[in-house]
């Protein structure tokens, strides 16, 4: 009975104040939209750096005088390491073959050169889940101490720079996102406050006639819930559409292939929607407190 | 002697001041019996509306204690106030109609807040509006009505849920003689059915020829 009245009131209220409701929903939507774009940017940056770093891997060069029969045991030793995902042995001849391939038409320059002049090496793919720059560095250091190893190479400088840069960008994005979040919260609560204040006289009268606070607040809270839900869903929908659009471009473009952009993780999507709903409902409850005294 | 049992409204040493130089009244003692019909009179600004506002908790007294239907108002929490108000029908001096609600919805609101279904409410609201001569304007909005018509909507809203106490603040202020008669008759009828009525007015003619008690507010005191 009471629930039916509440729903009926919420519905007739929605119809009567459709414009104000729509504006509030749009404000919620726009605020969340801007924030969601930043979140998307943040996660893609993180995703990209992690992937890129992991793909670089290590190359372990052996001293030229390493006896052939040491290779299997070294291979065993390397695959035994927990950070290592995959090890490939590249013999001197194979390395030479690659070089030839690389030079294509100019391979004449290699004529007369001993095919074993390149040192044999192991190419190591690092376990992606384990990837951490510090650990890779450590690993490289340890392997370097093995007597058979002449040099361990990885894009250290590259990664270092990338990390410092991306760390900086990530901090900036995170701070901007946080500021945007506050701005969104501020704008949304104030828009709600304005719509509530505009109807304060009405609320006071309804209370004077003997309505309980639940009766008065109910429709507003239902509306706030819907605003928060629809506003944030709409915003995330737009962001998702843009994401799909970029994915399409990425698939067609040679240059961008492999960038592999990702969407905001679903846990965060849910969190954004939930926070938006919470913000709207709490904002409404707070804004209404004033009209519900006496 | 003041006794809580038989009286439905009881004021003890009540005063109300908005600031040190704006004292509305002080030291008011008043007792109203269950089923009584009293007039509350006094010049403009004497504090009639203020006294009524204290009775339905729209205002708290500065000092003193008020009992309404056995409830000590000072002990009433904000959450309990609505339940007291459902026993009290208030006809506001300034009507306090909701301008974005139709006449029907304005009156139905009193029943809606106590959780009455639409079907039950509809019949009673229509009856009530017929009673005050507004059956033909149920789907109008307050601003489309004359002042007197609005006042009658306010009356209908106040009494449609059959409250046991009716606080009427100048309910005939905008009405012609015939309508005034009708409103007085309506109040008499409600009183005959058991409602306690406080009728605030500064129009002496309304109670010249009655045997009803008249409470006169003057200079912040009650004069018998
Ligand atoms: N909210 C308020 N703030 C300050 N003073 C107030 C307030 N409400 C009422 N007053 C003062 O209280 C006094 C009594 O006002 P009240 O409305 O009770 O008079 P009244 O007897 O109903 O007059 P009227 O016959 O004109 O309706 C007035 O002098 C007014 O200035
Ligand atoms: Mg008054």
pLDDT at A54: 61
> Taking CB atoms and an 8 Å cut-off, how many pairs form between chains A and B?
58
Bridge partners, residue A87, by sequence = A124
Name the residue facing A208 among B58, B60, B112 (closest C-beta). B58
* Tokens (6 digits) for B84: 């007291």
**Over residues A277-281, mean pLDDT:** 92
Bridge partners, residue B216, by sequence = B41, B223
Bridge partners, residue B215, by sequence = B40
Q: How far is the CA of A290 from the centre of ligand 2 (A)?
A: 25
The ligand with the least distance to the CA atom of B44 is 1
Q: Does the pLDDT at position B140 exceed 90?
A: yes
- Contact B174 CB / ligand 1 (< 6 Å): no
The backbone torsions φ and ψ at residue B113, rounded to the nearest 5 degrees and listed phi first, read: -65, -25
Model confidence over A178-208: pLDDT tens digits?
A: 888 788 788 878 888 888 888 888 889 999 9
Instruction: Specify the CATH number of the domain A58-154.
Output: 3.30.70.3040
Query: Considering only CB atoms, which residues of chain B are within 8 Å of chain A?
Result: 56-60, 78-79, 81-83, 85-86, 88, 90, 92, 96-98, 100, 109-110, 112-115, 117-118, 157, 161
B78:A215 CB<8 A: no
Q: What rounded mean pLDDT belongs to chain B?
A: 91
pLDDT at A201: 87
> B173 and B12 in contact (C-beta within 8 Å)?
no
Q: How far is the CA of B22 from the centre of ligand 2 (A)?
A: 16
pLDDT at A8: 80
- Contact B20 CB / ligand 1 (< 6 Å): no
A294:B98 CB<8 A: no
A200 touches B: beta carbon within 8 Å: no
Best of A18, A198, A210 to substitute, by most chain B Cβ atoms within 10 angstroms, is A210
- Contact B46 CB / ligand 1 (< 6 Å): yes
A1:B117 CB<8 A: yes
- Contact B22 CB / ligand 1 (< 6 Å): yes
> A192 and A284 in contact (C-beta within 8 Å)?
yes
Q: How far is the CA of B67 from the centre of ligand 1 (A)?
A: 22
Rounded Cα gap, residues B89 and B161, in angstroms: 8
Q: How far is A8 from chain B (nearest CA, A)?
A: 10
> A153 and A59 in contact (C-beta within 8 Å)?
yes
Q: How far is the CA of B22 from the centre of ligand 1 (A)?
A: 10
ipTM score: 0.90
Nearest CA in chain A to B94: A205
DSSP A97-148: HHHHHHHGGGGGGGTT--TT-SPPEEEEEEPTTT--HHHHHHHHHHHHHSTT
> A150 and A63 in contact (C-beta within 8 Å)?
yes
Q: How far is A257 from chain B (nearest CA, A)?
A: 59
Of the pLDDT bands very low, low, confident and very high (cuts 50, 70, 90), residue A258 is: low
Q: How far is the CA of A29 from the centre of ligand 1 (A)?
A: 46
pLDDT at B5: 63
Bridge partners, residue B223, by sequence = B216
* CA nearest to A209, candidates B218, B113, B64, B59: B113
The ligand with the least distance to the CA atom of B51 is 1
pLDDT at A294: 66
Q: Give the DSSP H or E segment for A7.
A: helix A2-16
A212:B57 CB<8 A: no
pLDDT at A257: 64
Q: How far is B117 from chain A (nearest CA, A)?
A: 7
CATH superfamily for domain B1-87+192-224: P-loop containing nucleotide triphosphate hydrolases (3.40.50.300)
* Tokens (6 digits) for A78: 């390397």
- Say which residue, A5 or B28, is predicted with more confidence: B28
Q: Does the pLDDT at position B4 exceed 60?
A: no
Model confidence over A218-227: pLDDT tens digits?
A: 888 888 899 9
The model carries a pTM of 0.74
Q: Does the pLDDT at position A245 exceed 50?
A: yes
- Contact B17 CB / ligand 1 (< 6 Å): no
pLDDT at A151: 81
* CA nearest to A6, candidates B86, B123, B99, B115: B115
- Contact B16 CB / ligand 1 (< 6 Å): no
B96:A208 CB<8 A: yes
Q: How far is the CA of A200 from the centre of ligand 1 (A)?
A: 22
Best of B53, B69, B82 to substitute, by most chain A Cβ atoms within 10 angstroms, is B82
Of the pLDDT bands very low, low, confident and very high (cuts 50, 70, 90), residue B1 is: very low
> Which distant-in-sequence residues (6+ apart) come within 8 Å of A105 by Cβ?
none
Q: How far is A210 from chain B (nearest CA, A)?
A: 4
> B75 and B65 in contact (C-beta within 8 Å)?
no
- Contact B44 CB / ligand 1 (< 6 Å): yes
């Amino acid at each position: 009975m009471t629930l039916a009245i509440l729903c009926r009131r919420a519905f007739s209220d929605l119809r009567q104040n459709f414009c104000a409701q729509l504006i509030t929903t749009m404000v919620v939507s726009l605020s969340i939209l801007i924030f969601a774009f930043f979140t998307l940017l943040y996660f893609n940056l993180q995703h990209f750096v992690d992937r890129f770093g992991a793909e670089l891997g290590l190359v372990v060069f052996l001293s030229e005088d390493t006896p052939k029969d040491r290779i299997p045991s070294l291979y065993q030793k390397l695959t035994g390491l927990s950070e290592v995902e995959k090890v490939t042995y590249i013999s001197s001849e194979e390395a030479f073959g690659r070089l030839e391939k690389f030079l294509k038409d100019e391979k004449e320059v290699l004529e007369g050169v001993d095919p074993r002049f390149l040192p044999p090496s192991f190419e190591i793919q690092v376990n992606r889940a384990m990837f951490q720059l510090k650990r890779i560095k450590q690993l490289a250091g340890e392997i370097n101490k093995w007597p058979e190893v002449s040099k361990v190479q990885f894009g250290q400088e590259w990664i270092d720079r990338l990390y410092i840069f991306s760390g900086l960008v990530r901090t900036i994005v995170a701070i901007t996102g946080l500021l945007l979040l506050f701005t969104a919260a501020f704008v949304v609560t104030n828009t709600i406050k304005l719509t509530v204040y505009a109807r304060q006289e009405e609320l006071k009268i309804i209370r004077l006639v003997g309505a309980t606070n639940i009766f008065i607040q109910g429709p507003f809270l239902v509306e706030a819930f819907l605003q928060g839900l629809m506003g944030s869903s709409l915003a995330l929908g737009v962001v998702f559409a843009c994401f799909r659009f970029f994915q399409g471009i990425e698939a067609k473009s040679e240059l961008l292939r492999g960038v592999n952009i990702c969407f905001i993780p679903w846990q965060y999507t849910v969190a954004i929607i939930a926070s938006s709903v919470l913000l709207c409902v709490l904002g409404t409850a707070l804004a209404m407190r004033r009209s519900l005294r006496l | 002697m003041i006794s809580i049992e038989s009286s439905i409204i009881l004021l003890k040493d009540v005063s109300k001041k908005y600031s040190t130089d704006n004292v509305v009244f002080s030291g008011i003692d008043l007792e109203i019996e269950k089923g009584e019909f009293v007039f509350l009179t006094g010049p403009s600004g004497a504090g009639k509306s203020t006294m009524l506002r204290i009775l339905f908790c729209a205002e708290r007294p500065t000092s003193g204690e008020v009992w309404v239907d056995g409830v000590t108002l000072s002990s009433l929490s904000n959450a309990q106030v609505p339940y007291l108000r459902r026993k009290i029908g208030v006809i506001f001096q300034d009507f306090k109609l909701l301008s974005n609600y139709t006449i029907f919805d304005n009156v139905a609101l009193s029943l809606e807040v106590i959780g009455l279904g639409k079907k039950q409410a509809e019949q009673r609201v229509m009856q009530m509006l017929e009673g005050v001569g507004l059956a033909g304007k149920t789907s109008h909005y307050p601003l489309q009505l004359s002042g007197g018509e609005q006042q009658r909507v306010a009356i209908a809203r106040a009494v449609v849920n059959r409250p046991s106490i009716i606080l009427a603040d100048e309910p005939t202020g905008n009405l012609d003689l015939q309508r005034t008669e009708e409103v007085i008759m309506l109040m008499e009828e409600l009183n005959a059915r058991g409602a306690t009525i406080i009728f605030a007015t500064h129009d002496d003619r309304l109670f010249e020829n009655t045997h009803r008690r008249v409470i006169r507010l003057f200079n912040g005191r009650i004069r018998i």
